[in-house]
Amino acid sequence: MGVNILFVGIHGPKGPCEEVFIKHQGHNQYAVNYMVRERGDYLVIVKWGDDHIPGSPFKVEV
């Protein structure tokens, strides 16, 4: 995986979501948390450095 930075962004019905929490759990594993404030369609963008991980952005209906 190399040395890089994990980026997770969430875009909700009213724009970008600010409180996305990422915790490194070791061995190339991360936990990502976000509290949904309203129903709707969301995009979850996940990048390792400048590159999207496969499937990103993800469309999620909440």
Q: What is the pLDDT of residues 3-38, one digit of tens each?
A: 789 999 999 999 999 899 999 999 989 999 999 889
Inter-residue contact 41 to 59 (CB < 8 Å)? yes
Domain over 6-61 is classified CATH 2.60.40.10: yes
User: pTM value?
Assistant: 0.85
pLDDT given for residue 28 in this prediction: 85
pLDDT given for residue 46 in this prediction: 97
pLDDT given for residue 1 in this prediction: 57
Dump the DSSP string for 32-49: EE----S-SEEEEEEEET
Domain boundary assignment for the chain: 6-61
* CB burial of residue 16 (10 Å; 0-12, 13-18, 19+): exposed
Q: Which two tokens stand for residue 49?
A: 């450095």
